[in-house]
Every structure is written in structure tokens, then in C-alpha cells.
Chain A
Amino acid sequence: MSTRLAKGGRFLDKGKPVTFTFNGKRLKGYEGDTLASALLANGQVMVGRSFKYHRPRGIVASGAEEPNALMNHGAGGTFEPNQRATTTELYDGLQAGSQNHWPNLEFDVGAINAGFSRFLTAGFYYKMFIHPRPLWKHVYEPFIRQSAGLGKAPKEQDADTYEHFNVNVDVLVIGGGIAGLQAALAAGKSGAKVLVIEQTAHWGGRAMVDEPLAEGRIGGAPVDKFVEETRAALEKMPNVSMRLRLMGAGVYDHGYVLGYERLTDHAPTAAGPRHRLWRIRAKRIVTATGAIERPLSFAGNDVPGVMLASAVRDYVVNFGVSVGDRVVVVTNNDSAYLTAIAMKKAGLEVPCILDARPEGGGALMQAAQDLGIPVETGKAIAKVKGTRRVTGVAICVQAGEGAVLKEIACDAVAMSGGWSPVVHLWSHCGGKLTWDTGHAHFRPDVDNPPRDDAGEAFVIPVGTANGAMHIALALEDAEMSGRAAAKAAGHKPKPVATPDVTSPQEAAMEPVWLMPQGAPYELRMKAWLDFQNDVKVSDVQLAAQEGFESVEHAKRYTTLGMATDQGKLSNINGLAILSDALGQPIPQTGTTTFRPPYTPISMGAIAGEARGAVFQPIRRTPMQAWHDAHGADWEPVGHWRRPYAYPRSSESVHDAVMREVKNTRQALGLLDASTLGKIIVKGPDAGRFLDMMYTNMMSTLKVGKCRYGLMCSENGFLTDDGVVARIDEDTWLCHTTSGGADSVHGHMEEWLQTEWWDWKVYTANVTEQYAQIAVVGPNARKVLEKLGGMDVSKEALGFMEWKEGEIAGIPARAFRISFSGELSYEIAVPASQGLAFWEALMEAGAEFGAMPYGTEALHIMRAEKGFIMIGDETDGTVIPQDLGLHWALSKKKDDYLGKRAQERSHMADPTRWKLVGLETVDGAVLPDGAYAVAEGTNANGQRNVQGRVTSTYHSPTLDRGIAMGLVLHGPDRMGEVIEFPGVDGKTYKAKIVDPVFYDKDGEKQNV
């Protein structure tokens, strides 16, 4: 029975009891508990079910490496699946529930899988469910999905907030154990900017538990004194920052580190964000990430109550919790003796320590024996008794095949298979590993480190993370490395005295990868490697037998190490089994790649603040609020939002669009055109430069005149269009599409800076400096004249001319250009006066029928006039020649961007589809994106096609469907009717016509 002890528990505040629930049951714990320690304190050893066999699962570990204790946590908007109980700090009102079982934890129907585990080996799914085919989708797969999946899916919107934090430091120390603190001290004393982060809520790490049990001392004092003094010294340094509950999640190139801070997980009622993602740039990164104990592989090592030896003593020392009344310890190294000592000292019974080493251990074994604990050397566990809870162990000799010597009754087993340095962060960015035979683990190969932008090692592992497994070595290593890190970051470190350390030396460990060594199949198929994913020794051996010899193959075939603990406990053990099966040494087998994050981090933290309304920035024109207040139906255009139409109450969007077109054609329409790109191009070589940028000749444009221009990519495709105005002798103003302003400006700068850098040209993107309003319709001139100021008469401001002056007392530039075919002025005013000007136009225009119109009316009017729209008639595959825009391709120029490309054989191919107008025979609207079919099929059995619709609208002006399209030999086929099958099952017949549907002679704009 696991229970709370009367004494002990250095993390607990026993004055602050808290209440929480587990599977609806109300339980009590203390502030300072983790959910795991509190569950154990309440006798709850079994906490979940495994992934595949739904075997009962208990808490195994005390930290981030825990594979089993994953909980549904919270409720409603704070519900979260797969929370690790060992890293969940207890708070009052915490709600937790176990996962992956039905109907409940104690009785789980899915456990029927365990009965079939003999058949459900590695690779089962690849060999099974092949026939009959439909059953996979409809029966097998849904069943498999339902039985997999661990925690429940959250249903509600996340109630919490998240944020990002950017920081630059000289030295980042990851890990707040004694090595991390010592390294930080050494680095900090140099004056370097140091950040020390620790994933748990406590400084000091493993040594705080182990050294007092081993009677180790630093500088003649207990370890906690050293930790407290070092922490206090660091706190005092202005150049050092320290953070708890902040995990180093990933190391990336050029010294980039992702930190994951859990701000309110332990105090959910506190204000502020729940998690904070730290984007850290560090010149040097010291990884003091410690080591993780390995399980031993014996039959029944997954039964609840079998735990890591280190975890068992952590629960006693840190939380005052005993995991059982009678704990058998099984080990291949000295560290587990500390567990026996801790239990004994806490007044619990340790019936036996099984040491697989024939000679047993060193000083710590002696210490345990002195306490009266029996030690059996050369012995192993043949089998654990019990299903939902350990009831005993059967003992055998390690060197044998599992013949049972005797059985010992116990309610928990503490196991230790040795220690593996936490090398994840070292490895994320390419640090290599070396096999340490003495400790039977991989540690960082410091000769093959991850390298930064200067090609220098930027991660420095220290302490047990570096394989320095004794506290004296760890401190010395940390001291040296802290100084080295500071020096590499450009500071002058001062020597820091390494304190004297006394702590017992450990006897050599002996690798034990299978217990007993000659375990037969029946034991191997009960010896777990990966507790969560249910991978056993026999599975890895089967993988090797079937030729999955690469470590990556074996991992993927068996799913070893792919669970939510990412193999922290299972990888090395599995690797050893695989190597043994292949008859090769472990280093030759190699490891799988370590990938970030170290432990899972919330999507919320990764997304940060940018969600909902602030998901992406919104660009606003000066008139945005007016549009909003007048019912605009918005359409996203890049980061802008433009009014699609202004539906009035009880009016549909479609009806609004029809009204806006008619009103503009018959009276007066106003369009907020401020989003149009506006780029100033200036300088002695500006004309020459624009002649390269545009297919047209811009250098010959006269001051005061406007010209419609086309821009192509160097690959020949039409990318942007717009009206260019010549402002003065060496200044041009280039209008671009709304979405294209930034890219066109970038395009210009690219050519200027990287190709024609000796040309004297200056560009400036002034898009947001101006509000621009299109004043369109037969009454356009009247309203401007009413506002007064600039002479906008036909004589003073002709078509395709521009003029500067004042209108309604506001400085303005008026461009007499038209995208609608109507009498039209586009008027640019300073952005700050945009709204005033717009309102003045609306007010003065009231008597002339002024109404705002949106992007859809704009599109319809341009289509009625046969004007192309970038993004509709073009899609990145269309060249100006396809669109009948030959007139805009200057014949006088030797060169412009895209000219050479357009000479290639496919671009000059006469069978390229060409722009035409399309009129349905019955006046209906052609479906958007429909294709015109031709006879027959191609070599791949696809229907041949001869054209497609590029724009299609109902024209309120003509009261019929009009469309533009690209058609094979289109311009030569006027009057021909072609067929467009719709996806609605109908076939649309359309006549090929001239793309200009309305006012072909342009009389309306020339008034």
C-alpha cells in the first residue's frame, strides 16, 4: 500500500492541505505535492492503461521521463489531455482523470487485447486486416482508432492566454541542479549575461535527494547548504537571471533555444498567461540536464508498483510518500542502494536487495547491509507477481534462464538499470554521442559538438549530462565549462574555487539488458521496454528476425520510443536488445535521432498571442471605420480588408452589388482605392529603370500624363499591372495592385540593388501615405466641381492625365483614369485627410446620387469593359500575349524583364489559349472556373479541353451573364459556340465574342 509517511517531504507545506479529485473521487494532498505524489499518498498506484494491451499502469518515475501517469486534467475551457502527473504540481481543486479505458480504470474492456498479446506482436497491423478490402475502412480502422489515442479531445475554446518572450544572453544554463548552478556561478563571475533555467519548481536537482542519503558533503556541509548559498550568490549578480518552471525544450541552429515556461499550471487562478514560449539566443549553451535512470527488463516489470529506484526515494524524501510497505530493490549499480537506505530510514521494510552483479556493490552496499538489509548478489527477478498491483517477486540467478529460487512477498519493486545522461539538447542540433562502456551509456562526444554560425561548438554539456557521474567530477566539470562558456562568449572568467566534496565512490555498474540473462520467450514477452506503447523485449527481437535491422526500422516497426515520453526510459534498453539480436556492439547500432521538444509543449504556447482578432495584423485605410459603420461586407485582400459591397438592411449582398454597379454607371459611385500600391521611382536613371520593369515604354511618358503598364516576371509571366504617372522630369509614380505593392516594391529594389546597382534610382513605397478615392460615374465631375478648387474640366484634365491642386481645400492629386469605363477620377489626398475628403464627397455627392461601391462592383464593371484583372485572368501561367495585350509590349525596347522568356518555344506557341469574351446562349452566368471541352480524351484518359473561364459575372448593365476566358485560337473563332460542362451537371453553351461588352468605343469615359 502506498501511503503518506508521518515524517519527511521536503517539498511539502503541510500547513497547506489541498483537495483534488481523481476519477471523481475527492482526495487530499499538500501544497508542494505533484499530482503523482498525492495519488501515491492516497494509495492510488494504478493510474492508467497502456496504449495497445490496455494493461494496468502505475506511476514509474518522478519526473519528465514518466511514461504511464498521463491524465485528463481540468474541465471545460481548461481541459487538457495527457498531462503528466509527475510534473503536474498539485493545487486546490485540481481535477484529474485516468485515460484510455472503458468503462473505467479498474475494469477496462480494452484489456481483452492483453489476452491476445501473444498474437498482437510488433508488425501485427501490417500483416493483418488485409482482406477483404472494405472492412479496413469501415470496421478495422475505426476500431483501432477508437482503442488508440490516450486522452480525450478538448471540446471547448481554450480559456487561457499565452505569450512569447525574446531574450539574448551570453550563456544559457539549462538545468538548475548542482552542476548547472556551479556552471552559472563560474560564468556569472566573469560578468557574462547568464540565464539559468530549471524545468521543475526546485533548485538543486537529484543531489538534494541522493547526497544526504549517501552522506555526501560539499565544502564540508550538506548539499542543501551549498545549493542555497550558490543560488543566493547568483541571485545577487545583476548579470544573472534565474527562472524555475522553465524548460529548455529545443536547441536549434546558431544558438537558438526554445524555452517553455509554465507560469500558472500550478496556480490556475493566477492572472496572466498560462505558458510563455521563450525564444532565446545564446552565445553558449550549458546543458546541465542530468541523467535518467533506466528500468530493468524482467517479466512483469510493467505491473503497477514496479518503479524506478530513484523515483521511489524521491517520493520518500521529497514528498514523504512511501510507494509500498515492503519494497524489493533490484539493481545493477550502486545508486539503488540509496533507495533501500531511504526506505529503511523511513521505517519501511526492504525484504531484499537483488544486485545482478556477482560481486555486488561498494560502500553503499555496505551501508545498506549495516542497516540490516539483506543483499543477494548475482540475483535477478524472474517474474513479478500480481496484475493490478505487485504482490511479490520470484527470484532467480541473473546468469541463468529464470529457474525460480524463491518468491518474496512485496508490494513494490524499485529497479535500477543504470543511468543515461540526458543528451537530448546536445543532440538536437547535431551533437554526436559516444558510448561509455564503463557506465554503459551514451554521453556527448565533445569532439563532435553542435556547431554555430562561426563553426564553433556552442553547446557545452556538464555534470551527469556529460557522463560525470560522481558529484565531485560533476562540480569540477561544471566549473570548468561555466568558465569556458563565458570566455567563448567574450568575457574574462575568474577562477572559482571548486569546493571539497566527500561522497562515497560507487563500484562499477554492470550492464544488464535482460533479466535473467537467458530469459526464455515466455519471460521475454512479458518484459516491457516501452511501457506506454507496449513494446516488449520479444517485439524488438522479432523486428530483428524479420530484417528490421536499422535502429530506425526497429523503432518504427515496434513503435519503441514513439510514445509521449519519446523513449526516455526505453530507447537505450531497446537498442541494447536490438544490438544483441544482431550480434553487434551497441555503438554500431547507433541511436535514433533526438528531436525537439524535450517534453511536449502546448500548441497554445507555440501560437502565442496571435489568435482571433489579432491572428494577423490588419491594414486599415483611413476610411475603414466609415465603411464599417455603413455596413461593409468585408473581403480579405492580403492583410487589407476591403468592402466587397455595402448591403443595406434587408438587401442581399448580391442585390447590393447589382445596385452599386447600376448607380455608378447611372449616377455616381465612390470607391476606396487607398489599398492600391503607390511607389515613387525617382532619379536620373528612373526612366531607364522603369523601361526594364514594365513591358511598356515609360521613359517617354510626358510629365502630367498617365500610362497603363504591365509588369512581368523574368520568367515571362504577367505579375502586376497599374497606371504609371510621370510626376516630374525624374519622378514617376507607379500604381500597383492592392496585393502587389510590397512585392512590386521588393522586386524593384532587388533589381536595383543586385543587378543595376550603378543606376541612379531611388524608390519609396508610399502606399499608406495617401488615401485614394475613385470618383466614378456620369456625375463625377459635378461633385468635384461642387467641392471646388482644382479645374477638372475635360480641357484642363484630359483622359490619362493627372494634376495636382486642392479640392475642397484639401491638397490632392487627381488622376483622370478609368477602370470602369465611366467618367472617372482617382484622387489621392494625404492619408490624414482621407476620411474628411471621403465624407465631403459623400455629402456633396448626395444630390448626385453618390453611393459607395465595393470590390465586386469594381470587378463587374471592369469585366463589362473587358479589362483584365491580375489574379483572375492571370494565375502565374499567363503571359501578356495570351491576353491580347500586345499593344502594351513595347517594340522599341531591346529588353525588359520577361522579354527573353517570352521568346521561348512554348511561349511563342500559337496554340496557347487566348483571351476572349464569352456570352452564354441563354444569358445565364457561366460557372466560375469552368473548362470548355474538346473532342476525345488524351493519352491518360482525361477529357480534352480547349479553354476555360477566367472571370464570370451577372452584368446588371446588360442584364445577362458575361464572362472572359482563355480559349484555343479564341480570337479567330468569334461567334463560335463552345460547351462548358458545369459541376452542377448542366452543360453551359457560350458564344465566343469580343471581351469588351459595354461601350466599345469608350464614349462614356471621354466626356
Chain B
Amino acid sequence: MLILHCPYCGVDADETELHAGGEAHVKRYGPGSSDAEFESYLFVRENPKGVHFERWRHANGCGKWFHAARCTSTLEVFGTYSAQTTEPPQEIKDKISAKRPGWSWREFA
């Protein structure tokens, strides 16, 4: 039963208020992209046992999407941040580095 801090409305939201939206920072591929790119965009997902970045919506709350950095094997939450960004803020990456030295996720580390 997760609790995530909604960076928009400031509420520590219970999981029942939230809607999980899958992997974060996925780049959209539209017309003109290759089949492999498009497959990767829609279906190939990071599935780490450890540090993960994902999208959540405060669906039964302020309705806003946000990002969370979370460990999938302990459910520790390293931080939540704006959905309007293409990569995790440095502050959150630093926080993860302090707790999970040597972590990496896609191109981030």
C-alpha cells in the first residue's frame, strides 16, 4: 500500500488515490519512425528489480500526473517530481546515488 507525495497539491497520497501509469520518460515515436522504434516505444519497458522511474496520476485527488523514483524490490520511494520534464532532476539522482551507489536506469545514472 504505497504512499506517494504529490508534488502538485502537496498531499501524501494513498495508493487508492493514485493511478499508475507505467515507465517514465518514454520518448514518443510517431509516423516516420521505424518498426523497431515504435515497438520499443509502446511495448519494451524497463522492468528493473531495483531503481525505477515511473508515472503516476493523482487520479482521485488533484488529477495531475507526476513522476516517482521508486525501488521495485523494497518499494522505497526516492522522490517524486514534475511530469513536465524529460529526465529526473539531479537532486533525485543524487538521493538515489546516496542510497543505491552505482545505480543506473536507461541512460541515467
Contacts and interface: CB of A to CB of B under 8 A. Distances in A.
Same complex for A and B? Answer yes
Interface of A: 252-256, 281, 430, 451-455, 714-715, 746, 749-750, 753-755, 757, 894-895, 899-901, 903-905
Nearest to A765: B63
24 contacts: A253-B2, A254-B1, A254-B75, A281-B14, A451-B76, A453-B2, A453-B76, A454-B77, A455-B76, A714-B42, A746-B19, A746-B59, A749-B57, A749-B63, A750-B57, A753-B64, A754-B21, A754-B65, A757-B83, A894-B30, A895-B30, A900-B30, A900-B31, A904-B35
A904 B84 contact: no
A746 B74 CA distance: 30
Nearest to A898: B30
Contact of A455 (B74, B83, B84): B74
Interface string B82-99: 011000000000000001
A308 to B, nearest CB: 35
Contacts of A903: 31
Choose among B3, B19, B29, B64 the residue with the greatest number of A CB atoms under 10 Å from its CB: B3
A867 B73 CA distance: 49
Interface residues of B, number: 29
B55 interface: yes
B28 interface: yes
A636 to B, nearest CB: 22
B33 interface: yes
Given A455-B76, A754-B55, A895-B30, 9 more contacts: A252-B1, A255-B3, A753-B84, A754-B21, A754-B65, A754-B84, A894-B30, A900-B32, A901-B38
B77 A750 contact: no
B59 to A, nearest CB: 7
Contacts of A454: 76-77
A901 B28 CA distance: 12
A181 B31 CA distance: 66
A900 B29 contact: yes
Contacts of B19: 746
Nearest to A750: B65
Contacts of A754: 21, 55, 65, 83-84
A902 to B, nearest CB: 10
Nearest to A256: B1
Interface in B37-69: 38, 42, 55, 57, 59, 63-65
A453 B42 contact: no
Contacts of A755: 28
Given A453-B2, A901-B42, A894 B77 contact: no
A894 B31 contact: yes
Contacts of B63: 749
A814 to B, nearest CB: 31
A714 B83 CA distance: 19
A807 to B, nearest CB: 34
Interface in B10-39: 14, 19, 21, 28-33, 35, 38
Contacts of A895: 30-31
Contact of A900 (B14, B33, B65): B33
Contacts of B31: 894-895, 899-900, 903
A900 B57 contact: no
Those 4 A-B pairs whose CB atoms lie nearest each other, nearest first: A256-B1, A455-B76, A757-B84, A753-B65
Contacts of A430: 74
Contacts of A750: 21, 57, 65
A905 B39 CA distance: 12
Secondary structure dominating the interface of B: loop
A281 B3 CA distance: 10
Contacts of B55: 754
B10 to A, nearest CB: 16
Given A753-B65, A899-B30, A455 B99 contact: yes
A904 B38 contact: yes
Nearest to B4: A453
Nearest to A451: B74
A453 B77 contact: yes
A453 B3 CA distance: 7
Contacts of A254: 1-3, 75
Contacts of B30: 894-895, 899-900
Contacts of B74: 430, 451, 455
A749 B42 contact: no
A755 B28 CA distance: 8
A253 B83 contact: no
Contacts of B35: 904-905
Most buried by B among A252, A757, A900: A900
A753 B83 contact: yes
Contacts of A451: 74, 76
Nearest to B67: A754
A118 B61 CA distance: 62
Contacts of B77: 453-454
Nearest to A252: B1
Contacts of B14: 281
A430 B76 CA distance: 13
Nearest to B33: A900
A452 B1 CA distance: 10
Contacts of B2: 253-254, 453
Residue of A430, A455, A903 with highest tally of chain B CB at under 10 A: A455
A448 to B, nearest CB: 12
Contacts of B42: 714-715, 901
Nearest to A897: B30
B15 to A, nearest CB: 8
A607 to B, nearest CB: 16
A255 B21 CA distance: 23
A904 to B, nearest CB: 7
B42 to A, nearest CB: 6
B100 to A, nearest CB: 10
A430 B14 CA distance: 20
A254 B16 CA distance: 13
Given A754-B83, A895-B30, A901-B42, A253 B65 contact: no
B65 A749 contact: yes
Nearest to B84: A757
A685 B38 CA distance: 26
A904 B21 CA distance: 25
A712 to B, nearest CB: 13
Nearest to B99: A455
Nearest to B25: A754
Contacts of B4: 453
B71 to A, nearest CB: 8
B75 A900 contact: no
A749 B76 CA distance: 28
B1 to A, nearest CB: 4
Contacts of B33: 900
Contacts of B65: 749-750, 753-754
Nearest to B27: A755
Nearest to B16: A279
A715 B55 CA distance: 19
Contacts of B84: 753-754, 757
Interface-central residue, B30, B32, B42, by most chain A CB under 10 Å: B30
Contacts of A252: 1
A761 to B, nearest CB: 14
Contacts of A255: 3
A900 B2 CA distance: 36
A834 B49 CA distance: 54
Contacts of B99: 455
Most buried by B among A454, A754, A894: A754
A750 B63 CA distance: 10
A778 to B, nearest CB: 44
A750 B99 CA distance: 31
Nearest to B38: A900
Nearest to B76: A455
